[in-house]
Amino acid sequence: MTAPGVSGIRNLHAGRFAKEPEVFTAPGRVNLIGEHTDYADGFVMPAAIDFATLAAVSEREDHRILIWSENFQEQVKQDVGTLPERGRHHWSDYPLGVVEILRREGIAGRESSRGFSMTLNGNVPLGAGLSSSASLEVASMLAVLHVAKASLAPQVMAQLCQRVENQYVGASTGIMDPFIACCGAEDHALLLDCRSLEYRLAPIPRHLSLVIANTMVKHSHAGGEYNTRRAEVEEGTAILREHRPEIRLLRDATMEDLERWGGEMPESVLKRCRHIVTENLRTVAAADALESGDLKKLGQLMAEAHASYRDDFEASCPEADVMVELAGRQQGCVGARLTGGGFGGCTVNLVETTQSAIFAERLHEGYREATGIDAEIYRCHASAAAHRVWPEDKSC
């Protein structure tokens, strides 16, 4: 996997804006387990991957913001003091949302602030469940903070990027995606407690590879099924809370609670809640299995997580089910499941490295035979958190 080139974006930026930029990068992510648990204050276990967004930035003498997207071949122009208050369903919602949220926090983007020119280029597949949006937000945030001569702790950046999604873009997403982009580590998955934001890094053994299979079925979080699922989860939580007021979010509920009071919920709401309660248990167990080298257990938990996502959360799609089933039949496959927000996107496969090339080939063939679709299969690497890449600097 090659991330978009640093020298390429420097040249592009200098050619367009006649200034040498500083360049920041932020990774996409793959989630090994723990789906739709983040906004219920539960547990997730993602890894940052070697797909990324680069943001090149330089200060301007005037009060204008100019952002060129190499991916969309389009430029937006704004005055610093007059940003729209909400997104307009456009790629620029992400970088402009970053400026607006930092302005509300009093950190950047004041009317009197100098403007900046930014060039964006990324290779995280869009709408594929690999967190292209968080990668774009976090890279933009590092760039805007640089121009504002400010810096923030990675956890705080993650929280502010979540606000960009929730308050500016209009997607009710959780903390997982910006958090892993800000705090991931090379060769590691990260078990995150989404309530306390405490986390531990779990090494991915060298003999295992992350193989990501793109079903090519696209999804979007702004509106649609993602927000509907979240609303159903909140409906179920409110019913449980009537009986046990200490249940703030589903993180606090047990299977016993669901057995006692689930009958008061519509069937679909009960199923959504059951997915989250069981997924939290599976995620913590999966981190233990990864750390203790119990790969059989890890694979089983991933299979159960997929079944729960498909049957209880009803967030899978026929193509992803086919992809997971085909993967399970291949030699060297430790575990496979649909990753990310659901309704399409990618499956994540943990595969013995020695078998990963043949695994990818066979999965591609089998999927084409079964669905007629040419899947993209990426052999990825767990990667580092967001950081400055030019001038070189490894710290966030």
Interface with ligand GAF (CB under 6 A): 31, 35-36, 38-39, 131, 173-174, 176-177, 221, 340-341
Comparing CB distances to ligand GAF, the nearer of 109 and 335 is 335
Query: In the bound complex, what is the minimum distance in angstroms from residue 46's beta carbon to ligand GAF?
Result: 9
Whose Cβ is closer to ligand GAF: residue 57's or residue 350's? Answer: 350
CB of 198 to ligand GAF, least distance (A): 18
What's the token pair of residue 158?
């993650």
Q: How far is the CB of 35 from ligand GAF (least distance, A)?
A: 4
- Closer residue to ligand GAF, CB minimum distance, 176 or 302: 176
Distances (CA, A) of 107 to 25, 147, 329: 21, 11, 52
Which residues lie below 8 Å from residue 285, measured CB to CB, with a gap of 6+? 297, 301
**Which CB atom, from 80 or from 380, has the smaller least distance to ligand GAF?**
380
Give 31 or 280: the residue with its C-beta nearer to ligand GAF.
31
Smallest distance from the beta carbon of 379 to ligand GAF, in angstroms? Answer: 22
Catalytic annotation on 93? no
DSSP string, 302-360: HHHHHHHHHHTS----HHHHHHHHHHHTSTTEEEEEE-SSSSSSEEEEEEEGGGHHHHH
Burial-class residue 59 by CB neighbours within 10 Å (0-12, 13-18, 19+): middle
* Sign, Cα dihedral of 284, 304, 174, 389: positive
* Cβ 19 to ligand GAF shortest distance, Å: 34
For the chain, strand residue ranges (E) read 22-33, 43-59, 64-69, 74-79, 116-122, 188-193, 199-203, 208-214, 333-338, 346-352, 376-380, 387-390
Task: Measure the CA–CA gap between 156 and 162, rounded to whole angstroms.
Answer: 10
Kindly list the distances between the CA atom of residue 258 and the CA atoms of 236, 274, 281, in Å, as whole numbers in the listed order: 9, 7, 14
* Active-site residue, selected from the candidate residues 38, 50, 93, 177: 177
Q: What residues are labeled active site?
A: 177
